Structure 1
């Protein structure tokens, strides 16, 4: 029994480390709006290049030809459900950022990307570390994770609106955070990386412009 408990604890610890590593990439995407405001075309070109190169490296890894460094990082960060499969998360993450940046005005796009970076990123970490109240029909999501998602999106949206001189910042942030929390609850797997920045960016644009 003690041996089994030790194995379970070790597996849980490894899972948390992977989640921290994976979500640190989400958090780093918060830098993208600032970079786009200065070097729009070069940054977009880099995002497209990263998308193509990562996809190519995953196809090579799946066919038994791993790419040094890239394939190792991918394997280290992969969830259990992604083992021996194409790891789709980075593709949807970059695709969501690109789509939001193309479709919406800078402020609206930034709000969508911040929601992805902070809301989705911190929700998963909070759920893994502190989550106890599981929500039915959500694929294991927790109330703690959802509240973290709402709070992170509200704060990031409110800050973005205030810094841009938006008068009804709190109302906009409340709507965006509420919708973002609902999306995060859906069992979308990696496709929330696209839906969150695109949908929340679109709603932000409708509310602000």
Structure 2
């Protein structure tokens, strides 16, 4: 069953659905620019505003039941723009993470893949689960890890903190629980699935060389959650 919100879907025409989603992304970019222009915030803060804010567009896509082709096309365009931004200063500050990274590109690619797969399966909630796990889990982990991360570890050349990793676990758990409870109902299986997905998401986020976690975390979380729901016959 396609989990959507028919009342809003039937209210807004396609052009307005696209306009609302585009306006949200532009608003986030504007906020990031204003913070960068008028405050002394670190580049990482600016990047996380965009990282977290734009990820929430998946909720609008789900809420409005935007056609898959729109989401896929937007993801392709975003991927091309981010690739160009590594050569030309199109997105100054957003790709500057203090290390060589393709994270922004992988982020856009993951959105396109998840929309393509789970819109086709009529299960958009899993695309939302994967993207929000990455947007909020990784986004807040980076901020908390940089400010409060006292216990460091290194994995495949990436510097991490246990405080940041714990943040990924807790935020991923909350995202999974909220989405699965809303779409599947309350059961012990939902809580078990959420715990497993949160642990796996944390492990995937820890392996983040070249920003690959922006691809593995959302796709891995979404596919794992969907697979476990099918295995436990909750649909």
Tell me, yes or no, whether TM beats 0.5: yes
1:116 and 2:141 matched? no
Partners of 2:163 and 2:183 in 1: CA distance = 30
**Coordinate RMSD, CA, aligned:** 2.1
- Please name the residue that 1:192 is paired with: 213
1:50 and 2:50 matched? no
Q: How many residues align?
A: 181
- Please name the residue that 2:58 is paired with: 33
1:142 and 2:161 matched? yes
User: Gapped runs of 5+ residues in structure 1?
Assistant: 1-13
TM-score between both structures, scaled by the size of structure 2? 0.69
- Please name the residue that 2:202 is paired with: 181
User: Gapped runs of 5+ residues in structure 2?
Assistant: 1-39, 231-235
Alpha-carbon spacing, 1:79–1:153, altered in 2? closer, same or farther (3 Å):
same
Q: Considering fraction of residues, name the structure with more helix.
A: 1
Mapping for residues 15-30 of structure 1, pairs under 5 Å: 17-30=42-55
TM-score between both structures, scaled by the size of structure 1? 0.77
- Please name the residue that 2:6 is paired with: none
Paired residues of 2:71 and 2:112 also in contact (CA < 8 A): no
* Cα deviation, residue 148, structure 1: 0.5
Deviation per residue, 1:137-189 (Å, 9 max, x gap): 46221110011010000001100011113333211110110001111122433
RCO comparison, higher one (Cα < 8 Å, 6+): 1
Paired residues of 2:173 and 2:197 also in contact (CA < 8 A): yes
Partners of 2:54 and 2:184 in 1: CA distance = 24
SS of equivalent to 1:141: strand
